[in-house]
Amino acid sequence: MSEPQDWRLFGQEKYLFGASLVRSDYARSRVVDSPWEDDHCEFCGHEFMKDNFPDVLHEGYATQNGLHWICADCFNDFAPMFCWTVSQHPASKTP
């Protein structure tokens, strides 16, 4: 339980510590004009795709800009360490 370093950690705190994440459907919320077809979990590397391939994820936690994705397992494991907050979809943010 008190592992000093998880294999999935390699400096993500530099850009993900305290991040505000959005739980979202990958196909709908991925960056629309991004040139790539998939993303990977920032921690374990699990693949997010909008297509229906086996063993890919279709929803997870994304940063507000949609550039970084985190799978549910890693979210659960690292949320306390990274002090993430989860918000609703940015569009529904209260003024």
Contacting positions for Zn ion (CB under 5 A): 41, 43-44, 46, 71, 74
Closest separation in Å from C-beta 62 to Zn ion: 12
Closest separation in Å from C-beta 95 to Zn ion: 33
The span from the CA of 81 to the CA of 65, in Å, is 21
Contact 79, 71 (CB under 8 A): no
Closest separation in Å from C-beta 54 to Zn ion: 17
Judged by beta carbon, residue 3 or residue 33, the one nearer Zn ion is 3
The span from the CA of 29 to the CA of 64, in Å, is 10
Classify residue 91 by its DSSP letter: G
Judged by beta carbon, residue 29 or residue 71, the one nearer Zn ion is 71
Classify residue 18 by its DSSP letter: T
Judged by beta carbon, residue 26 or residue 43, the one nearer Zn ion is 43
